[in-house]
Structure 1
Amino acid sequence: MKNTLKISLTTILILILNGCGKNEKKEQQPIEKETIVIQRDFGNWKTENQRLGVELNPKQFDNWFDLAERASKIVCNDSVPKITLKTGNEIRTIYLHNPCWEKDSYKIIKSKNVFEIHNDTIFKNKKNFFPLDSLESVLRKDIKNNGVNPMFSENSKKLIVSISYDKKNKFKRLLHHLDKLTDKYYGITNNTDIKIWLTNKDHLKLPPPAKKEIK
């Protein structure tokens, strides 16, 4: 009887020790940290059309002309073209502001209000050009100008960023350029109201130079 009691007590003690060991192991396991995903919408139209956003995937197009034309046709169908970027823990949805060229045969835009990126070069007024490494400084000057310098934008709300590429150029850098552009714009303005066009250069009509008065 005593031997049986000893065996039972020993068995219970072993079970208790094993249970404590398992609890200690559970407590020692590292706790996985939750990853916070940031969602930002750039170029928000704030209209009903935005609900009809149509995703554009540049990798599905063979050339720049087809991609830019597709963006315009989406607008002509009363929808909004958008491109989604996923970088680290951030998702950026960029709503494009392309005009419908079928309804508007051309748009007259003051060149001072256009911030043009063509391939890897920034153009202002067709006369001044800067390397893409100067993106932040030139963009900041355009946004903060407020009509002071006649070569830069009248108002940040009127500023249009036109992006285009040569037909032979590898436009696959578009996603990289959009990532860099939206990042710098948000850093300067703390806002996401950027207006971006995917442009075929033939469509971007600028007003003719002012005529000189004949005395």
Structure 2
Amino acid sequence: MKLNFAKFLIIILLLASCGNKKKEIKEYGFKQIDADSISVSIRISEFDNYENLLDRLKEIVCFDSIPKIVLETENKIRNIYPIEYCEIPMFHPRFRNTFFIQMDSIIKNERKVEISELSTLMKQNFENMGVKEGFADSPEKVLFIFEYYEDKGVDGIEKYLKAITESYDYIKSENELKIAFWPKIDVIPDYENGELRYKTTE
């Protein structure tokens, strides 16, 4: 009887220790030295559309704080510090440097990237050093930009963030993982008096 009780007690203690096990914390992006004191945690599931997410990111940055996107699983917490500005800069990233994440796909050089090949392609871009034309100019310029239409939901963002960070972990790169969130704007050519102009579609 005492032996059975001892076995039961050991099992209970083991279960309790497993339940109290601390989750591994991984961090990605530009974490500043004092980020813990000025960072503001957000979770993608808190937002019902992409516009609200963009507005919240902008609001945090404009108040001199740092947005921290938190992805939490059963045994791991991923803290992602995206590149965000109070006002979106006038910047057109080169295709060779940029992975564009849309609602249903990841695009690189106008080609859809399967999640299964993401780590290989990421490694090739980080290590290219401008040699091959279809890959990044330098590891510092590799950028992942989420581009959703503002009136759409946030479906897929957590899935792609998880895939990107897992691929980054897999290749064990020492380069910083740069992630940004931008609104998707369709730009179409328009000619006025024979000169090329651009206009956006609604």
TM-score of the alignment, normalized to the shorter chain, above 0.5: yes
Task: Decide whether the 8 Å contact of 1:114 with 1:162 is kept in 2.
Answer: yes
Measure the CA separation in 2 of the matches of 1:142 and 1:169. 30
Unaligned residue ranges in structure 2 (runs of 5+) = 187-202
* Deviation readout 1:141-181 (Å, 9 max, x if unpaired): 22222211122212222211101223465423211211111
* Structure 2 match to 1:185: 168
Q: Structure 2 length normalisation: TM-score?
A: 0.75
Unaligned residue ranges in structure 1 (runs of 5+) = 1-20, 204-215
Measure the CA separation in 1 of the matches of 2:146 and 2:86. 16
How far 1:132 moved relative to its partner? Answer: 4.1
How far 1:200 moved relative to its partner? Answer: 0.9
Q: Do residues 151 (structure 1) and 134 (structure 2) align?
A: yes
* Structure 2 match to 1:3: none
Q: Structure 1 length normalisation: TM-score?
A: 0.71
Q: Do residues 136 (structure 1) and 136 (structure 2) align?
A: no
Q: Do residues 110 (structure 1) and 94 (structure 2) align?
A: yes
Alignment map for 1:1-215 (pairs within 5 Å)? 21-22=1-2, 24-28=3-7, 29-30=9-10, 31-32=13-14, 33-34=17-18, 35-49=21-35, 51-101=37-87, 104=89, 106-125=90-109, 127-167=110-150, 169-191=152-174, 193-202=176-185
Larger strand percent:
2
* Deviation readout 1:102-126 (Å, 9 max, x if unpaired): 6x4x23433322221112222224x
Equivalent pairs, count: 180
Measure the CA separation in 2 of the matches of 1:43 and 1:116. 17
Measure the CA separation in 2 of the matches of 1:114 and 1:175. 19
Amino acid at match of 1:188: I
Measure the CA separation in 2 of the matches of 1:109 and 1:87. 32
Same amino acid, percent of matched pairs? 25
How far 1:191 moved relative to its partner? Answer: 4.7
- Tell me the secondary structure at the aligned position of residue 199 of structure 1: strand
* Deviation readout 1:62-120 (Å, 9 max, x if unpaired): 21122123212322222111111112211111111122216x4x234333222211122
Question: CA RMSD for the aligned pairs?
Answer: 2.7
Task: Decide whether the 8 Å contact of 1:58 with 1:172 is kept in 2.
Answer: no
Amino acid at match of 1:63: N
Deviating runs (4+, > 6 A) in structure 1? Answer: none
Measure the CA separation in 1 of the matches of 2:114 and 2:105. 5
Task: Decide whether the 8 Å contact of 2:106 with 2:113 is kept in 1.
Answer: yes
Measure the CA separation in 2 of the matches of 1:91 and 1:142. 26
* Deviation readout 1:175-194 (Å, 9 max, x if unpaired): 12111110111111255831
